[in-house]
Amino acid sequence: MFVPSRFLPRAAPAAAAPAATSLVGMRIPVVTITDDRRAAPPPPGLSDILWALASPRDGIEHIHVAPAPGRALITYFLRAADDHTALGTARLVTDRAISHSPALRGWRRL
């Protein structure tokens, strides 16, 4: 049997979502790594190394590496609730890469 929609009961409007206590937004922390023992730039594929050691829960959307002799500036674009959390995540991923990648032996985070 067909019942025209104007005769069907209407659903109650959906309740509004509770207000979030902290909004997650895009953050852009920058981390510097250095190797004082040599003037060579960081290994090629540094961003690939960082991506390989990042996890989905790190919230990383993009990584940019600006290499220079004996150092590199690593810019992370990631989702985090605040700047402090974002910088902590960027440092954690960088430290993870330094400790797990033989190509980064001798490098350290400033």
pLDDT means per 10 residues, the chain with 110 residues, are 51 51 84 91 95 96 96 97 97 98 95
77 neighbors 62 (Cβ within 8 angstroms):
yes
What's residue 38's pLDDT? Answer: 82
User: CA-based Rg of the chain, rounded to a whole angstrom?
Assistant: 23
23: left (phi over 0), alpha (psi -120 to 50) or beta: beta
46 neighbors 3 (Cβ within 8 angstroms):
no
What's residue 36's pLDDT? Answer: 81
What's residue 44's pLDDT? Answer: 93
CATH of domain 25-109: 3.30.70
